[in-house]
Amino acid sequence: MSWRRGNDVLWLVSLAAAGLTLWCVTRTALLGLQAVWLDIVFVLIIGLGEVLRVRTPGGASGSAPMSLAAGAGLALLAGSYHGGRPAPPVCEAVTVVAAGMVLGSLVFALGRREALTARMPLRLVSVAVAGEVFHLVAGLGRHGHLFARPDHWWVVATLGAAALIGVLYLVLAALTGGSARASVRTRLLDELDGSALVCAAAVATASVIAIGSWDLGVWSAIIFSIPMLVTTGALRRYAVIRQTQAQTVRALSRAAEVAGYIEVGHSDRVADLSVRIGEVLGLRSRRLNELRSAALMHDIGQLSLREPIPGGATLLATGPQRLDIARRGAQVLERAAVLPAVARIMAEQAVPYCELADDSPVRTEAGVVAVANAYDDLVGAEPSFQRQAQALERLRLGAGSQYDPAVVEALEQVLVHG
Amino acid sequence: LYVYGSLLAALAAAAVCVPASMQRWPTHLFFAALFVIGQQLRLRVRPSDGMALSVNAIIAAASYPLLGWAAALPALASVVQLRRRVPREARLFNAATAALSAFAGGVVYTVTGGPVGAQITEGPVATALGSLVVAMAAFTATNVAMLAGVMYLDPRSHTPMAQIVRRAVSTATLQQWAFGFVSFMVAQLWLGSVGPIASLLILLPIAIGQVMIARGEAEQRVHEATLLALAQALETKDPYTRGHGERVAAGSRELARDLGWDPAAVQMVGYAGLLHDVGKIAVPTGIIRKRGPLTSPEYESVKLHPLRGVEVVRGIEFLRDALDGIRHHHERYDGSGYPTGLAGDQIPLFARLLAVVDAYDAMTTARTYRRPRSHEEALAELTSGRGSQFDPVQVDAFVALARQGTWPRPQPGRGRRAGAPERPR
């Protein structure tokens, strides 16, 4: 439900991908395969690329840089030569990409894992569209094979088309992915942050594959895919470390729960609510991650209390005591010299809004954690309509003095629109 | 002597190459520059294990189609070391190794009929790749042989021969080969019909890959620090345990390494040591800080801490192997420990090891209820618990390690780094 906007675009793109595939397969069937061995090698490389799916550093799943690079490389070959023979046309390239994706998905299906990913149609559409555009623009008024020799015009055209594939892919990914609460601009910036580098590597590889195929034929694709393989490995490890890091932060918040200082589930609820509010406020994904960590750990300072506060509700603690708890929680991170931004949010979330320094870089985040925490303390684990309304009323009364008015407003939006 | 011997051999190889080099000096100069640059780089294949590739093999792979067998002279240029401070002998030896390996590779490449220069665009690529494979094998073999020689003769190194060879034939070598193929193809493109521009493009994905690896390493450091924060969270309750987790982690790694555990287990037992007491968070502060003996119900609540610790870190998937260590580190070898009363070999290996190191550190540091004991007293105590409280093998190893005078160490480094094959420490 909340994913609708992105989902609409995704449906369109998937439909386009299906249409393009159908069209290309039909045309290829009519024309016959021009380069069978080349096709087979590319199907295998793309299939392997699809199997080695990774999360982008931005956190989006289903990225397959090696597949994108090989597919784009084949599409860019269209209209030139590989190893002295004419390269297959764009429709055959798209057919090969689709076949590679089917192969990759089959492997996943056999392993009983989720076979389809939202990014697959994106890859196919970007490759097909850019390939056709490249072919059309380069071949204005010409027929058959466009480039008789590897001149600089060909190199420039290939690079341009490769760049087009990259841009198309990133834009489509931004439109289809991310949270529906975030604006398109935020999603685009997040996508750039998260995948621009990997995408650049993929399209650079694609152009090398295409250009190299002139002399080296099919070996170009095999050998020049190696750097993408290494990059993919690095990305996989990065994703694992990120996940582990998130689990460790979660363990820190569990520590306070296991110790009985806070009610089980409180930290998780505050973190979820904080992130939703942060999305409404237009925070970028990096800041959202910090916000989530700070919200998860906002109560760990209570570990330094001799005995737990009844029910763990920090609203019951006195002002100075709350500040002290928050300060000690932040110190846990500071002593290990880790996550300085998160530590700062944890320290400042206990400061009343009117006393927060205007130039604090985490002003918004601190306000969000404060509001989400207060709301959860007031509503508790089983929210009823009446409790929610009362809690919201109380937060509204405090807006401007205790709480950030913009955040309280965003909380209302989250509660109303889900 | 060995170093100078190899240097002499390398110089001889280089001398053979001199006429060829004079003939085509611009290309040779260019490769000399590449070797110099290559020395300053650290090409990494994976984050966090410090494994760096030797760039020499990769540059040499590019040199075969361009220079043929005459790559030894440019390879000597790798003696220039700008950034890192490496002892002169090591530098000379490395350069000699590079030159001899490149020479061997080049000769094999030419002999097996690998195309050189303009021939390259004519013959089939597969033949050239075949020659390259043999050439790279020759390079690696020469490299490993020379490295093994120096390790064998070096009295300071205890690394067994099998380990040297295993390390040389590890994944790093595989990746080195893979990159060798890439650079070989780049050299072909360079000579080919499109020219050098195209071959430079491949540097972009390689560089981006390196950026990703560096980011992974940075994230790994953040994660280690977060684990430390988790271990230290306890210290807000009990100031007396300050640094206990870190010391036990360091000690466990040291002992595990001494017992010959494989590196992954050494690392994991370190994490288990770091977090073994984290469950004490759930023990009421009053009990933890209490002076004097605990009452029976108080002791019962202390005995829960291993299980509570498991509860805290259970969500961290990669620590799964460490959980048993945390859960059972208070078991005793005779079966009278807690929480489950396991005995002997039933107690997980990690837990037995942690018990020894934990006991030593607990005895030698101050507690609310007593003063620290001396190093010798603690060792005597450990020895007397041999077989009753502790695993005898581990106690003996620990005591032996401690008697060497290297114990307890101050903060250890991050573990030994596996160097690239031709860079002896």
> Cβ–Cβ of A333/B233 closer than 8 Å?
no
Tokens of A20: 């393009």
Q: Region A51-59: what's the mean pLDDT?
A: 83
Q: Region B319-344: what's the mean pLDDT?
A: 88
Residue B404: how many CB atoms within 10 A of its CB?
9
**pLDDT by residue (tens digit) across A172-185?**
888 887 777 778 88
Instruction: Closest CB to B129: pick one of A207, A219, A245.
Output: A219
DSSP string, B145-174: HHHHHHHHH-TT----HHHHHHHHTSHHHH
User: In angstroms, rounded to a whole number, what is the distance separating the alpha carbons of residues B320 and B331?
Assistant: 19
> Cβ–Cβ of B237/A234 closer than 8 Å?
no
* Contact A239/B at CB under 8 A: no
> Cβ–Cβ of A304/B46 closer than 8 Å?
no
Q: Residue B333 burial by CB count (10 A; 0-12/13-18/19+): exposed, middle or buried?
A: buried
pLDDT at A396: 92
Residue A386: how many CB atoms within 10 A of its CB?
8
Q: Is a pLDDT exceeding 50 seen at residue B238?
A: yes
* Contact A336/B at CB under 8 A: yes
Give the residue from B43, B49, B53, B125 with the most A CB atoms within 10 Å of its CB, the best one to mutate. Answer: B125
Question: Chain A residue with minimal CA distance to B124?
Answer: A216
**pLDDT by residue (tens digit) across A89-134?**
888 899 999 999 999 988 888 877 776 777 888 999 999 988 888 8
Which of chain A's residues have a Cβ under 8 Å away from the Cβ of B281? 255-256, 258-259, 303
User: In angstroms, rounded to a whole number, what is the distance separating the alpha carbons of residues B425 and B418?
Assistant: 10
Q: Region B1-21: what's the mean pLDDT?
A: 68
> Cβ–Cβ of B185/A212 closer than 8 Å?
yes
Q: Are A274 and A369 in contact (CB under 8 A)?
A: yes
pLDDT at A368: 94
> Cβ–Cβ of B46/A233 closer than 8 Å?
yes
Distance from CA of B288 to the nearest CA of A (A): 10
Tokens of B403: 């008697």
pLDDT at A36: 86
pLDDT at B48: 39
Q: Are B234 and B277 in contact (CB under 8 A)?
A: yes
Lowest-confidence segment of A71-85, A108-122, B66-80, B176-190 by average pLDDT: B66-80
Question: CA dihedral in degrees (A393, A399, A402, A407; nearest 10)?
Answer: 100
pLDDT at A183: 80
Q: Region A337-363: what's the mean pLDDT?
A: 88
pTM here is 0.84
Which of chain B's residues have a Cβ under 8 Å away from the Cβ of A234? 46-47, 209, 212-213, 216
Q: Which residue has 């890959």 as its token pair?
A: B209
Lowest-confidence segment of A225-234, B65-74, B266-275 by average pLDDT: B65-74
Distance from CA of B212 to the nearest CA of A (A): 6
Residue with the bigger pLDDT between B234 and B4: it is B234
> Cβ–Cβ of B211/A197 closer than 8 Å?
yes
pLDDT at A245: 92
Residue with the bigger pLDDT between B17 and B362: it is B362
> Cβ–Cβ of B223/A241 closer than 8 Å?
yes
> Cβ–Cβ of B226/A202 closer than 8 Å?
no
CA distances (Å), origin B363, targets B248, B257, B368: 12, 23, 12
Instruction: Closest CB to B181: pick one of A226, A258, A304.
Output: A226
Look over chain B and give the mean of its residue pLDDT values, rounded to a whole number: 76
Which of chain A's residues have a Cβ under 8 Å away from the Cβ of B317? 243-244, 247
Question: Chain B residue with minimal CA distance to A213?
Answer: B189
**Residue A297 φ/ψ, nearest 5 degrees:** -100, 10
**pLDDT by residue (tens digit) across B166-213?**
666 665 667 777 888 888 888 888 777 777 776 678 888 888 888 888
Which of chain B's residues have a Cβ under 8 Å away from the Cβ of A259? 281-282, 308
Q: Are A121 and A105 in contact (CB under 8 A)?
A: no
* pLDDT over 70, % of chain B: 75
- Written as one letter, the residue type at B379 is L
With b for 16 or more beta-carbon neighbours within 10 A and e for fewer, the B145-160 pattern comes to ebbbbbbeeeeeeeee
Q: Is a pLDDT exceeding 70 seen at residue B384?
A: yes
Instruction: Closest CB to A336: pick one of B194, B212, B225.
Output: B225
Coil, strand or helix: which one is A308? coil
Tell me the pLDDT band of A150, cut-offs 50, 70 and 90. low
pLDDT at B341: 85
Specify the DSSP element, H or E, that contains A81: strand A81-82
Distance from CA of B221 to the nearest CA of A (A): 9
Residue with the bigger pLDDT between A317 and B214: it is B214
> Cβ–Cβ of A249/B222 closer than 8 Å?
no
- Written as one letter, the residue type at A119 is R
Beta bridge partners of B44: B52
Which of chain B's residues have a Cβ under 8 Å away from the Cβ of A200? 204, 208
* pLDDT over 90, % of chain A: 32
- Written as one letter, the residue type at B254 is E
- How is chain B split among helix, strand and coil, in percent rounded to 5? 70, 0, 30
Look over chain A and give the mean of its residue pLDDT values, rounded to a whole number: 85
Tell me the pLDDT band of B419, cut-offs 50, 70 and 90. very low
Q: Is a pLDDT exceeding 70 seen at residue A305?
A: yes
pLDDT at A365: 92
Which of chain B's residues have a Cβ under 8 Å away from the Cβ of A300? 233
pLDDT at B1: 63
Which of chain B's residues have a Cβ under 8 Å away from the Cβ of A228? 205, 209
How many beta-carbon pairs under 8 angstroms link A with B?
A: 205
Tokens of B419: 């160097």
Question: Chain B residue with minimal CA distance to A152?
Answer: B194
Q: Which residue has 């006195």 as its token pair?
A: A318
Distance from CA of B118 to the nearest CA of A (A): 13
Q: Are A364 and A283 in contact (CB under 8 A)?
A: yes
Residue with the bigger pLDDT between A391 and A215: it is A391
**Residue B52 φ/ψ, nearest 5 degrees:** -115, 145
Coil, strand or helix: which one is A54? strand
Tokens of A230: 């290494």
Task: Identify which of B284, B245, B244, B250 has the alpha carbon closest to the alpha carbon of residue B366.
Answer: B244
Residues 6+ apart with CB under 8 A from A226: B178, B179, B181, B182
* Contact A327/B at CB under 8 A: no
Give the residue from A153, A211, A228, A240 with the most B CB atoms within 10 Å of its CB, the best one to mutate. Answer: A211
Lowest-confidence segment of B301-315, B343-357, B392-406 by average pLDDT: B392-406
Question: Chain A residue with minimal CA distance to B319?
Answer: A244
Let me know the angle formed at the C-alpha of A117 by A112 and A123, rounded to the nearest 5 degrees. 135
Instruction: Closest CB to B225: pick one of A241, A251, A338.
Output: A338
Q: Is a pLDDT exceeding 60 seen at residue B408?
A: no
Which residues 2-41 of A are in CB contact (within 8 Å) with B?
none
**pLDDT by residue (tens digit) across A244-256?**
999 999 998 888 8
Residues 6+ apart with CB under 8 A from B259: B353, B393, B394, B397
**pLDDT by residue (tens digit) across A270-290?**
999 999 999 999 898 889 999
Sign of the dihedral defined by the CA atoms of residues B109, B114, B118, B120, in that order: negative
Cis peptide before B47 (omega within 30 of 0): no
Beta bridge partners of A54: A63
pLDDT at B86: 64
Q: Region B139-154: what's the mean pLDDT?
A: 74
* Contact A177/B at CB under 8 A: no
Q: Is a pLDDT exceeding 80 seen at residue A406?
A: yes
**pLDDT by residue (tens digit) across A186-240?**
888 888 888 899 999 999 999 999 888 888 888 888 889 988 998 898 899 899 9
Beta bridge partners of A82: A85
* Contact A148/B at CB under 8 A: no
